[in-house]
Structure 1
Amino acid sequence: MKTPLAALLVITLAVSGCSSVRQSRMNPMNWFGGSRQEAAPTLGQTSDTIDNRALVASVASLSIEPTSSGALIRAEALMPSAGWWDAELVPENFGRPEGGVLTFRFVAAAPREPVPGTSERARTIVAAYPMTQAQLDTTSQVVVTGETNSRRASR
Structure 2
Amino acid sequence: MTLRRFALPAVTTSLVLGLTACGSTSNLNPVNWFRSDGVKAVAVIPEGGFLEDQEYRGLVTDVVELQVLRSTGGAIIQAKGLPPRLGYWDAELVPENFERPVDGVLTYMFRISEPPYRTNTGRPKQREVLVGQFVSNTKLQGVRMIRVVGERNSRSSSR
Specify if TM > 0.5.
Answer: yes
Equivalence for 2:125: 121
Deviation of 1:79 after TM superposition, in Å, equals: 1.3
Answer whether contact 2:80 2:128 (CA < 8 A) is retained.
Answer: yes
Tell me, yes or no, if structure 1 residue 58 matches structure 2 residue 62.
Answer: yes
Tell me, yes or no, if structure 1 residue 69 matches structure 2 residue 69.
Answer: no
Equivalence for 1:143: 147
Equivalence for 1:98: 102
Query: 5 Å matches for 1:25-40?
Result: none
Q: Deviations over 1:71-95 (max 9, x none)?
A: 0001111111111000000000011
Query: Which contiguous aligned blocks of 4+ residues in structure 1 show a shift greater than 4 angstroms?
Result: none
* Unmatched tracts of structure 2, length 5 or more: 1-51
- The structure with the largest strand share of the pair is 1
Deviation larger for 116-125 or 72-81? 116-125
Cα separation, 1, equivalents of 2:138 and 2:121: 44
Tell me, yes or no, if structure 1 residue 132 matches structure 2 residue 136.
Answer: yes
Q: Percent identity between the aligned chains?
A: 37
Q: Which structure carries more relative contact order (alpha carbon 8 Å, separation 6+)?
A: 1
Cα separation, 2, equivalents of 1:49 and 1:113: 24
SS in 2 for 1:98: coil
* Unmatched tracts of structure 1, length 5 or more: 1-47
Answer whether contact 2:84 2:121 (CA < 8 A) is retained.
Answer: no
User: How many pairs were matched up?
Assistant: 108
Query: 5 Å matches for 1:104-115?
Result: 104-115=108-119
Letter in 2 for 1:88: E
Cα separation, 1, equivalents of 2:86 and 2:118: 6
Q: Deviations over 1:89-128 (max 9, x none)?
A: 0000011111111001001000012321423222011111
Cα RMSD (Å): 1.5
Q: Please say which structure displays the higher CA radius of gyration.
A: 2
TM-score, scaled relative to structure 1: 0.66
